[in-house]
């Protein structure tokens, strides 16, 4: 209510706000338009970041990254290496889609990332959430990819719409609060009963990627460094929204 009415006064929920309904409807419509157009706006910047004959590495199946690569492929010829991201193997789905669009595509397994990184010009990935410090809550395996990119001085570009920005921080690497764990069936089959009784098997969905491993964010309003995320957050969130009770 503070953000929408822009009054900045102490809350008085007994006071009538005549224009509140219209303001809320306007804000919702703006958000709807942003959600519908963000992928196209990000893809429209592809030619600024992807050049001819480059080798691009990506991971998983981000619809935003997929649109970004396909947009660039209309005017540039380049090669894409897709990390399959076991045990979910969403990378294989992305590779098939890119290949159908005429993009030269190679699927690699997660263990080959470091070995192949010296041949890569850019890493372009999506993310589930951009944290308040510029870190990422991204698909499992992203941290290893980011570390390999850092080692070989390969720029890591993150395609993420503005609505993915969160005012939350990663607190003390609390995986239970930060991550999502799914059935370990894909990692170790339940039929392996003898082994299962002796080990604990975890199957996390996300990785945390610290901001120092990210080179650039490409959002629907342009490109920004991780250090600028705080400024973007101040435009999106009221200070009272930074702590969710």
Give the number of other Cβ atoms within 10 Å of residue 128's Cβ. 17
What 8-state DSSP symbol labels residue 188?
Answer: S
From edge to edge, which strands make up the β-sheet containing 129-130? Answer: 129-130, 136-139, 206-209
Q: Which pLDDT belongs to residue 17?
A: 75
What is the reported pTM? 0.84
What 8-state DSSP symbol labels residue 212?
Answer: G
Q: Which pLDDT belongs to residue 1?
A: 47
Q: Using 50 as the pLDDT threshold, list the residues of the chain that sit under it.
A: 1
Q: Which two tokens stand for residue 151?
A: 């080692």
Q: Which pLDDT belongs to residue 10?
A: 59
Question: Phi and psi for 155 in degrees, rounded to 5?
Answer: -65, 140
Let me know if 56 is exposed, middle or buried by CB neighbors in 10 A (0-12, 13-18, 19+).
buried
Q: Which pLDDT belongs to residue 202?
A: 78
* Coil, helix or strand at residue 83: strand
């Amino acid at each position: 209510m503070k953000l929408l009415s822009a009054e900045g006064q102490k809350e008085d929920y007994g006071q009538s706000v005549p224009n509140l309904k219209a303001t809320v409807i306007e804000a919702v419509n703006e958000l709807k338009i942003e959600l519908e157009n963000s992928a196209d706006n990000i893809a429209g910047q592809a030619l600024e970041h992807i050049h001819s004959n480059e080798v691009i590495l990506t991971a998983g199946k981000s619809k935003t990254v997929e649109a970004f690569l396909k947009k660039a492929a209309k005017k540039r010829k380049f090669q894409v290496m897709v990390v399959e991201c076991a045990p979910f193997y969403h990378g294989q789905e992305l590779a098939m889609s890119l290949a159908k669009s005429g993009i030269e595509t190679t699927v690699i397994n997660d263990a080959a990332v470091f070995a192949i990184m010296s041949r890569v010009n850019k890493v372009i990935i999506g993310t589930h959430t951009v944290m308040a410090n510029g870190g990422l809550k991204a698909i499992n395996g992203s941290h290893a990819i980011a570390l390999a990119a850092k080692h070989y001085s390969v720029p890591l570009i993150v395609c993420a719409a503005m609505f993915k920005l969160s005012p939350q921080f990663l607190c003390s690497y609390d995986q239970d609060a930060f991550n999502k764990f799914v059935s370990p069936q894909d990692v170790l089959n339940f039929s392996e009963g003898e082994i299962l009784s002796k080990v604990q098997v975890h199957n996390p969905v996300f990785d945390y990627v610290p901001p120092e491993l990210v080179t650039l964010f490409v959002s629907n309003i342009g490109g920004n460094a991780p250090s600028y995320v705080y400024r973007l957050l101040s435009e999106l969130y009221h200070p009272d929204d930074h702590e969710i009770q």
